[in-house]
Amino acid sequence: MQKDSQTMPEIRFPELNVNTYKPNNPVEVTVVDNYIATLENSPNIIRHITFDVSDTELEGNVWPGQSVGIIPEGLTEPDGKPAKVRLYSVSSPGYGEDGKPHLISITVKRVIEEDLETRNLFLGLCSNYLSSLNPGDKVKMTGPSGKRFVLPENARDFNYLFFATGTGIAPYRSMLLDLYHRGFKKKAALIFGAPYRTDLLYDGLFSQLQTQHKHFHYLTSISREGTRPDGTKNYVQYQIEDASKVLQPMLHQSNTLIYICGLKGMESGVFKALAKNGYSEYLEISDRIEHLDPDQWTAEDLKKHVKPSSRLFVEVY
C-alpha cells in the first residue's frame, strides 16, 4: 500500500499547568466512589476510584494523559521513612467524570506479590491504601503531572493508535472520552493487552464506542487464553501484523500518532513490529543497526539506537 504523501499537521501541545500541588504542599480531596473494574472471576483486583476536587486548582485543570500523585498518609516505606508519592494516570476525561469537572478518576491495580526469597506476601503500599478507601475518606493529592504524553491541543487533526497493557489503559479512557466529546471524526484504534478476558477494563465503554463510531476500532490481545498460530503470545505489538487490514491504512497516513502505555518493556515489542513492517517513520533508527533484522535487535541496540520520532509517545513504568 502506498504511503500518503501529504504533510503532517503540526502537533501543537497545550500549555499545561503542572505540579500546582507538590509533595510538600499536597491538596486534600475526598473519595466519592471506589469500585472493582475487573470482572467478578478475575484473579486481579483493579479499582476505579473517583475523587471530588471541588474548589482546588485541579478542578477542570487536568488534561487527558496527565497524572496525579497520591501520598498514602500515615504509612511508612519498608525503610521506615514516611510514605512517598505515587503517580496514577487520570482515567476521567478533561471535562470530568460523568461530565462533572470537579470529579476526577484513576484506575488502580492492587499490587500483591510473593517475595520469592522470603516467601512472604508483599502488598504494594499505595495501591492497597487506595483500594481500601471508602467514600468520604480524605486523601492527599499532588499534580497535575506530565506534559508530553497528552492529547495535542489540535487533537481532532490526527488519527490515533493507542497501545495499552493492563492499567496502561487509564489515559486512553480519558483521551477517547474527550476526543468523542469534542466531535472527533478521524480514525482511532485502541489495542489493549490483558492476561484474561476478565481483565478487560472498561470493555463495555470501548465496545460501545466501536458501535457508535465507524472509524473507531477496539482490538484486544488476551495473552493467557491461547497463542498465535506460530506459538507466540497474543501481545499488542502483533496486532500490527494480525490486524493489518485495519491498522495498515491508518499507519500509512501522515497524520497518524502512536501512543504506548503500560508495562515497562512493552515499547520494545511495538518498536520492533513497526520497523519489521516498514513503518520506520514512527522511529529514529540509527545507521548502526538499520541493516539488521529488527527481531535481532538486542536490548542494548534498542536503548542506544532506536528512539521514538515526533509522532510516537511512550509512557511505561
Ligand X SMILES: NC(=O)c1ccc[n+]([C@@H]2O[C@H](COP(=O)([O-])OP(=O)(O)OC[C@H]3O[C@@H](n4cnc5c(N)ncnc54)[C@H](OP(=O)(O)O)[C@@H]3O)[C@@H](O)[C@H]2O)c1
Ligand Y SMILES: Cc1cc2nc3c(=O)[nH]c(=O)nc-3n(C[C@H](O)[C@H](O)[C@H](O)COP(=O)(O)OP(=O)(O)OC[C@H]3O[C@@H](n4cnc5c(N)ncnc54)[C@H](O)[C@@H]3O)c2cc1C
| Binding stretches for ligand Y (CB under 6 A) | 67, 78, 86-89, 106-109, 111, 113, 115, 122, 124-127, 167, 170, 315, 317
Whole-angstrom distance, CA of residue 209 vs CA of residue 218: 8
User: Nearest distance from residue 115's CB to ligand Y, in Å?
Assistant: 4
Distances (CA, A) of 286 to 61, 271, 307: 39, 13, 9
Nearer to ligand X, 85 or 255 (CB): 85
User: Nearest distance from residue 205's CB to ligand X, in Å?
Assistant: 17
Binds 126, which of ligand Y, ligand X, none (CB < 5 to 8 A, cut-off by type)?
ligand Y
**Would the CA dihedral through 170, 172, 177, 178 be positive or negative?**
positive
Q: Do 74 and 138 meet the contact criterion of CB atoms below 8 Å apart?
A: no
Nearer to ligand X, 11 or 45 (CB): 45
Nearer to ligand X, 14 or 195 (CB): 195
Provide the residue type at 255 as one letter: N
| 3-state class (DSSP) for residue 159 | strand
Nearer to ligand Y, 87 or 302 (CB): 87
Which candidate, 91, 131, 85, places its Cα nearest to that of 111?
Answer: 131
Binds 165, which of ligand X, ligand Y, none (CB < 5 to 8 A, cut-off by type)?
ligand X
Provide the residue type at 305 as one letter: H
Q: Is 19 left (phi over 0), alpha (psi -120 to 50) or beta?
A: left
Binds 115, which of ligand X, ligand Y, none (CB < 5 to 8 A, cut-off by type)?
ligand Y
For residue 112, count CB atoms less than 10 angstroms from its CB and return exposed for 0-12, middle for 13-18, buried for 19 or more. Answer: middle
Nearer to ligand Y, 109 or 305 (CB): 109
Nearer to ligand X, 184 or 271 (CB): 271
Q: Which residues face 106 on adjacent strands?
A: 49, 90
Nearer to ligand X, 126 or 209 (CB): 126
Binds 108, which of ligand X, ligand Y, none (CB < 5 to 8 A, cut-off by type)?
ligand Y
Give the rounded distance of the alpha carbon of 9 from its chain centre. 24
Binds 78, which of ligand Y, ligand X, none (CB < 5 to 8 A, cut-off by type)?
ligand Y
Binds 210, which of ligand X, ligand Y, none (CB < 5 to 8 A, cut-off by type)?
none
Binds 235, which of ligand Y, ligand X, none (CB < 5 to 8 A, cut-off by type)?
ligand X
Residue showing the smallest CB distance to ligand Y in the complex: 124
Whether residue 72 has a cis bond before it, omega within 30° of 0: no
User: Nearest distance from residue 84's CB to ligand Y, in Å?
Assistant: 8
User: Nearest distance from residue 270's CB to ligand X, in Å?
Assistant: 8
What residues have CB less than 8 Å from 30, skipping those under 6 apart? Answer: 51, 52, 136, 137, 138, 139
- Give the footprint of ligand X on this chain (CB under 6 A): 67, 89, 109, 165-168, 170-171, 193-195, 199, 223-224, 233, 235-236, 261-263, 265-266, 269, 315-317
